[in-house]
Amino acid sequence: MSRPEARLGTHLPVSPPTLADVAERAGVSRQTVSNAVNNPDLLRPGTLERVREAIEEMGYSPNRAARNLRTRTSQLIGLRVSPVQEGTANAMMDRFVHTLVETSALAGHHVLLFTGDDEDPVAGYDNLLRSTAVDAFVVTDTYLGNPQAAWLAQQRAPFVAFGRPWDRADARHPWVDVDGAAGTRLATEHLIAKGHTRIAWIGWRKDSPIGEDRRAGWLTTMHEHGLPTTGLASRVEDTVQSGGEAAAVLLDESAPTAFVCASDTLAMGVLHTLWLRQLAPGRDIAVVGFDDSQVAQVYPVGLTSVRQPLEEVAVQIVTALHALLSHQPPAEDGVLLTPTLVVRQSS
């Protein structure tokens, strides 16, 4: 009986050329081929040229796994991912992960995504460390009480955090973050320039340092301009429904003419309430969100939003990782980047 491959008109795969095959073609030793790949400065120009011609003719590709075993590196960066929260409009982490993967590849690394256990937040990290599967980590959850950064520091594992060490002023690990207060200051200044004096704030619960940082930008700017804030602020869960309910209460009790929100999710809730009340965003009530999500960009009216420089965040994180893996001190422990405001019809 003929083989399946023959009946299907296919061919068995041909084994890729090995280092020994290249050595035979070039008429040199295996070590010489290895030097041509890893230490070309050790070879004479004529020998190096001959080996490179053989490599190109045969399509030889060095065995990455074997090289990693010799150098004790994996060229992988671990990044824990969490499921998307239902009822929200933010896909910021998708944009960040995509940019991080691209930037890491340019530096010769690949990103390994892994999931975690909510009951044991360091379990996934521990497994990868024990198996030496990654060279370093990027940590994105730096909210109060999160143990990952402190645990990795205790294990002397290389990592860079996307987010400040909010509850550890003495932390010395490298981090990159976006200045949320600067972003909401831009939003509030924009609304004041448009003539608004009763600008409401809808943010997250008080135990969110990121939310409180963003709230501070609105609060400080309002006070600097001598504008009232009493009765104009609300703290809620980060869902569209919560944002809409908070907007309804504020409209009824405090009559704001504009809203600054800690996220696009909350801003979408505000827009929904305005739609129910037949109020036009930008004409009757101004609305500004935070994160410049895809929803903000495609919403029919167009949602004005604070945009985080995630591309630059990724570049700075990879730069810090390279310094760590090269055993070089980082230029500085923390890098704080400034966001921008994307103005659309809602304001």
Give me the mean pLDDT over the 224-239 stretch.
96
Q: Which two tokens stand for residue 232?
A: 């104009």
The domain spanning residue 108 has which CATH number?
3.40.50.2300
Tokens of 13: 């795969």
Looking at residue 88, what is its pLDDT? 59
Question: Tens digit of pLDDT for each residue in 275-289?
Answer: 999 999 999 999 999
Q: Is residue 347 assigned to a domain?
A: no
CATH number at residue 45: 1.10.260.40
Kindly report which listed range (13-27, 91-105, 204-218, 272-286) carries the lowest average pLDDT score: 13-27
The reply to whether 41 falls in a domain is yes
User: Could you give the C-alpha distances from 201 to 92, 235, 246, in angstroms and in order?
Assistant: 21, 8, 10
Choice among 143-152, 294-303, 314-323 with the minimum mean pLDDT? 143-152
DSSP, collapsed to helix, strand or coil, labels residue 326 as coil
Q: Are residues 290 and 189 in the same domain?
A: yes
Residue 146 belongs to some domain of the structure: yes
Distances (CA, A) of 116 to 88, 120, 146, 153: 21, 8, 13, 18
Distance CA 272, CA 260 (A): 15
Q: Identify the band that residue 87 occupies on the pLDDT scale cut at 50, 70 and 90.
A: low
| Least-confidence region, from 65-69, 203-207, 235-239 | 65-69
Split at pLDDT 50, 70, 90, the class of 171 is confident
Q: Are residues 221 and 301 in the same domain?
A: yes
Asked if residue 67 is part of any domain, the answer here is no
Q: Does some domain include residue 153?
A: yes
- Residues 247, 216, single domain; the answer is yes
Least confident of 17-31, 229-243, 251-265: 17-31
The per-residue pLDDT for 172 is: 80
User: Average pLDDT, stretch 41-64?
Assistant: 81
Domain span at residue 103? 76-179+310-337
Record the pTM: 0.75
pLDDT value for 6: 38
Query: In the predicted model, is pLDDT for residue 345 greater than 90?
Result: yes
**% of the chain residues with pLDDT over 70:** 86
Backbone angles phi, psi at 167, to 5 degrees: -105, 10
> 85 and 15 in one domain?
no
Structural domain includes residue 191: yes
Would you call 43 helix, strand, or coil by DSSP? Answer: coil
Sign of CA dihedral 223, 228, 231, 232: negative
pLDDT at 273 exceeding the cut of 50: yes
3-class secondary-structure state, position 342? strand
Summarised one tens digit per residue, pLDDT across range 96-150 is 888 899 988 888 889 998 887 767 778 888 888 877 778 899 988 776 667 888 8
The answer to whether residue 182 scores a pLDDT higher than 70 is: yes
Helix intervals (H) in the chain? 4-7, 19-26, 30-38, 45-58, 64-71, 92-106, 123-130, 148-154, 180-193, 209-224, 240-254, 264-276, 294-298, 310-325
Please give the pLDDT value at position 56.
85
Give the pLDDT score at 70.
43
- Say yes or no to pLDDT of 186 above 60: yes
pLDDT beyond 90 at 198: yes
What mean pLDDT comes out for the span 76-92? Answer: 72
Q: Which tokens belong to 35?
A: 């030097």
Q: How confident is the model at residue 68, as a pLDDT?
A: 44
More confident residue, 69 or 180: 180
Query: What pairing do the DSSP bridges indicate for beta strands 304-307 and 340-342?
Result: antiparallel
Same domain, 193 and 146: no
Q: Is residue 344 included in any domain, yes or no?
A: no
Give the residue with greater pLDDT, 61 vs 99: 99
Same domain, 115 and 42: no
- Whether residues 41 and 126 share a domain: the answer is no
Cβ atoms of 261 and 270 closer than 8 Å: yes
Distances (CA, A) of 290 to 55, 307, 341: 52, 7, 9
Range of lowest pLDDT (33-42, 74-83, 183-192): 33-42
Q: Are residues 130 and 81 in the same domain?
A: yes
Say yes or no: 319 and 259 in one domain: no
Q: Residue 12: what residue type?
A: L
C-alpha to C-alpha distance for 97 and 178, rounded to whole angstroms: 16
Looking at the fold, whether 173 and 314 belong to one and the same domain comes out as: yes
Q: What is the pLDDT of residue 153?
A: 85
pLDDT band at 9 (very low <50, low <70, confident <90, very high): very low
Is 335:314 a contact under the CB 8 Å cutoff?
no
Number of domains forming the structure of the chain:
3
Who wins on pLDDT, 144 or 194? 194
User: Could you tell me which residue, 21 or 74, shows the higher pLDDT?
Assistant: 21
The pLDDT score that the predictor gives to residue 5 is 40
Torsion angle in degrees (nearest 10) through CA of 278, 284, 289, 295: 40
Phi, psi of 57 (to 5 degrees): -65, -35
In a domain, 151, yes or no: yes
Q: Which two tokens stand for residue 176?
A: 């990159």
Question: What amino acid is encoded at 6 in this protein?
Answer: A
**Do 303 and 314 have their domain in common?**
no
d(CA 313, CA 291): 14
156: tokens are 């002397």
Same-domain status, 218 and 262? yes
Average pLDDT value over all residues in the chain:
85
